[in-house]
Structure 1
Amino acid sequence: MHYNDRGGCRLNGVGGDEGQAAESQGSVGTNYGMITLEDLEAFSEDQLSDSGNGSLEEGETIEEEQQDRLLHYWQDVGRGHRVEVPRDMAEPIQQITTNNNGTHPREAVPYILMSRKEKSGDVLYEKRQYEKGHWACITVKEDTYEQSICYGFMKIMRYICQQNSLGRYLGMTIPIVTVVNTDEMHTTLSRTVTVAYYLPINHQDQPPQPYDTEIVIEQWPATIVYTRPFTGATNEVTIISEINTMAEMLDSPVVCVSDSFIVAGYTNPAAANRQNEIWFLERP
């Protein structure tokens, strides 16, 4: 199934002038497959004030001008990522930028640290207990793994930013997780992925319902995960590498699910590299 005709984002190769524009931005298009939360948050109010020429079109408000500047900025960034940012992402992008500048602290998904394995002062992995909780989830299958993540991510952002039964911004939680599946040998990722957002504590008892019928609210059971941090891009190559690295480090990898894993993405605009984790799920 393809979603490109529904206002989603595409990772199509671009040609002509757009292709030259993407190439002029360096190699980012080959290293990253999607616009992430870090991208959205890293665009500060100072940059917003500096962008554009500061002139308003006739009948345009300051808020609309800022929204247009943000959208145009991320459409430019998106071309470097080979991602098309649709027009209807303008308001969600503005809300994420505004609310995450200190007005809405990001809420961490709660867990209990059970144990930690270290070597020479470095953390190899942690064992954590996550309690049951409600997540907003969308499962997507596109032509490529990166397309699937991109489409699902945009849908979840719209849900967080007003396209829900409360009609308001719900607040950001971290990490945003992606459930991925591999073949038996851990060499290939399935194009089918599930992108999931943990509902903030004040919405856990009565989760706001999504307007988008492809997003479902699920209650995930309490789960033990083995988790290892990594930095940088989250694409098929890096994820497969991290899965195999983690499998080698685990004392008893057979206790974990063998073909389903989670990539957890954390927002950290101040960091030079993206902060991520790979999660192995303990068998029930």
Structure 2
Amino acid sequence: MDRGGCRLNGGGGESQGSEDNRPGMGSHSGMITLEDLESFSEDQLSDSGNGSLEEGETMEEEDENQDRLLHYWQDVARGHRVEVPGDMAEPIQQLTSNNNGSHTRERVPFSLITRKEKCGDVHYEKRHYEKAHWACITVSEETYEQSICYGFMRIMRYICQQNATGNYLGMTLPIVTVVRTDATRRDLARSVTVGYFLPEQHQAQPPQPIDSDITIEEWSAAIIYARAFTGPTNEVTIMSEIQAMAEALDTPDDCVNDTFIIAGYTNPAHANRQNEIWFMEKR
């Protein structure tokens, strides 16, 4: 089975809110992240090409630019024990060029219900999310990092071209991962679901995936409790954040106790990756 050939961490970047952005807490360095596969700094772009066909540029030159982008990330990835397969060249090129100012990264919309603060710090937000369509893939690898990599690489292909339209669909934030634990919240299940929110223009008629393992799901409206955190996402940090969120909630028994969501945000301007842990209110 093709696993996408890499390992990476789950998101980071800019935390979403209704009126302001709330940074996460702490600082960690990690392996290659989602943003590494979709953005370069200006210096890197000038060295490696911008991934798009400029006026007067031949297809051969475009292919050379695409190869440079792929080889750049393969070189970077090897330093993190990550292997990026050759068939990711075009998706990397598309996300690089489309997210370099030409497309707005659409946010998953929500309504803020309330916010719990203490001494100026936000402990969590209570939000309402409307029902919406998501493209999802369920993966079961040895580690969380491997699973989110495997899942996101295939979602990335769906976003870029492997869909019924054959076109780039647009990047949305956050990319989410649904994780499950046992009843005692001591261990993460190996099976995780990576989810991509369909942009608003595709919500009514979601483009069907070419990859048969990717499904289009309509997620029901939900009340979500969201808490920001900074750094890599792995089994240890996720279990720690689940525990911290359970302690922060006034009524944790009102929430589902064995299924949680990691929301990853990307922003190349931020060195520290920013994420959220989401608890779902019971229906």
Letter in 2 for 1:275: Q
For the Cα contact (< 8 Å) 2:111–2:127, is it kept in 1? yes
Whole-angstrom CA distance in 1 between matches of 2:33 and 2:165: 25
Matches of residues 166-245 of structure 1 in structure 2 within 5 Å?
166-245=165-244
Is the contact made by 2:70 and 2:89 (CA closer than 8 Å) also made in structure 1?
yes
| Cα distance in 2 for residues equivalent to 1:132 and 1:112 | 12
Pairwise CA distance, 1:9? 1.9
The answer to whether the 8 Å contact 2:69/2:92 transfers is yes
Q: Does residue 5 of structure 2 align to residue 9 of structure 1?
A: yes
Structure 1 position 77, deviation (Å): 2.2
Matched residue SS, 1:233: coil
Name the SS of the counterpart of 1:83 in structure 2. Answer: coil
> Normalising by the residue count of structure 1, what TM-score does the alignment of the two structures yield?
0.85
The residue aligned with 1:99 is 98
What count of residue pairs does the alignment treat as equivalent? 256
Offset of 1:175 from its aligned partner?
A: 0.3
Higher deviation after alignment, 38-47 or 114-123: 38-47
SS of corresponding position for 1:273: coil
The one-letter amino acid of 2:277's match is I
Q: Which amino acid in the other structure matches residue 82 of structure 2?
A: V
- Counterpart of 1:17 in structure 2 is none
Q: CA deviation at 1:66?
A: 1.5
CA distance in 2, matches of 1:32, 1:279: 21
Structure 1: 5+ residue runs without aligned partners? 13-29, 53-58
Cα distance in 2 between the residues matched to 1:221 and 1:9: 33
Percent identity over paired residues:
70
Structure with larger RCO (C-alpha < 8 A, sep 6+): 2
Q: Which amino acid aligns with 2:149?
A: C
Q: Which residue of 2 aligns with 1:61?
A: 60
Moved over 3 A (4+): 30-33
Letter in 2 for 1:246: M
* SS of corresponding position for 1:61: helix
Cα deviation 1:77-109 (Å, max 9, x = unaligned): 222332221111000011111000111100000
Query: Does the residue aligned with 2:270 lie in a helix, a strand or coil?
Result: coil
CA offset at residue 38 of structure 1?
A: 1.6
So what's the TM-score if we normalise by structure 2?
0.86
Please tell me whether the aligned partners of residues 29 and 272 of structure 2 are also in contact (alpha carbons under 8 angstroms). Answer: no
Give the residue type in structure 2 aligned to 1:164.
N
Report the Cα offset of residue 10 of structure 1. Answer: 4.2
The aligned counterpart of 1:44 is: 41
Deviations 1:219-277 (CA, angstroms, capped at 9, x unpaired): 00000000000111111111111111001000000000101000000111111201110
The secondary structure found in structure 2 opposite 1:152 is helix
Alignment gaps of 5+ in structure 2: 9-27, 50-57
Q: In structure 2, what is the Cα distance between the partners aligned to 1:239 and 1:233? A: 9
How far off is 1:182 after superposition?
A: 1.3
Q: How far off its partner does 1:142 sit? A: 1.3
Give, in whole Å, the separation in 2 of the partners of 1:103 and 1:158: 19
Mapping for residues 103-114 of structure 1, pairs under 5 Å? 103-114=102-113
Is this contact kept in 2: 1:109–1:175, CA < 8 A? yes
The structure in which a higher percent of residues are helix is 1
2:24: which partner in 1?
none
Q: 1:136 touches 1:196 (CA, 8 Å); kept in 2?
A: yes
